[in-house]
Amino acid sequence: MIESKEAVRKKALSGGVFLFVILITVLIISFREQVQHLATYGYAGVFLVSLLGNATVILPAPSLALVFALGSA
C-alpha cells in the first residue's frame, strides 16, 4: 500500500519530535551538575529547571526533587 505524502510527513514529524525529546533527556542527565548552578538565578533558575525537566517524556528527569533542593539551599 502506498502512503500519501501527508502520512509520510506526519511520521517524519513524529520521529523528529521523538528524537528531540530523547536529545533533551540525554542532555539534562549528562549536565545534571551544571543545571544546579541555575540556583543562583533564583526564581528564573527554578523556572528553567522545571521547564527543562518537564520537557522530557520518555525518561523523566527528577525536576521536582531538584526544585525542592534549590528551595532548601
In the chain, the percentage of residues whose pLDDT exceeds 90 is 7
Q: Is the pTM of this model over 0.85?
A: no
- The model's pLDDT over 28-62, given as tens digits with 9 standing for 90+, comes to 778 777 766 766 777 887 788 777 777 766 656 66
Mean pLDDT score of the chain: 76
For the chain, give every domain's residue range.
5-72
CB 17 within 8 A of CB 25: no
Taking each helix axis as running N to C, give the angle between helix 43-54 and helix 63-72, from 0 to 180 degrees, rounded to the nearest 10.
Answer: 170
